[in-house]
Amino acid sequence: MTERAPPRVFLERQTYRRRRMLDAVRLLPIFGALLLAIPMMWPQRGPATGSQLAADGAEAGAFVPMSDAIAYVFIVWAGLIAVSALLGYLSGEATAADGAKDRKQGQDQG
């Protein structure tokens, strides 16, 4: 229908930055899931313990106190929120700035 210019291979610096910002938005949940999976590897004692390694660690007294666990989880959580807010703000600025013109191309190459 409309006459479409052939997609350009290289983008302007600004558009390039925005594209990478969207990549970061995409990667953030994966990164977050990895960080939040780390507690699964913490040593613990008691009947719930599955692996021999964990049991060894527990014997050595290397279990994780609840205050540390809370600190870790909530700091990771807050960090994710902060990064998400930052990316949301930046990508929102960028999108508002160059409007609908590049949007189509963005999807072609996005």
How many residues can be counted in the chain? 110
52 touching another protein, by CB under 8 A: no
90 touching another protein, by CB under 8 A: no
66 touching another protein, by CB under 8 A: yes
Contacts of another protein in 24-43 (CB under 8 A): 25-26, 28-30, 32-33, 36-37, 39-42
Q: Rounded distance, CA 59 to CA 57, Å?
A: 5
Cβ 43 vs Cβ 63: under 8 Å: yes
Structure-block tokens of residue 7? 């997609």
Cβ 91 vs Cβ 22: under 8 Å: yes
Q: Reduced to 3 states, what is the DSSP secondary structure of residue 12?
A: coil
Residues found near another protein in the complex (CB under 8 A): 1-3, 22, 25-26, 28-30, 32-33, 36-37, 39-42, 44-46, 48, 50, 63-70, 73-74, 77-78, 80-82, 84-85, 88, 91-92, 95, 99-100, 103-104, 107
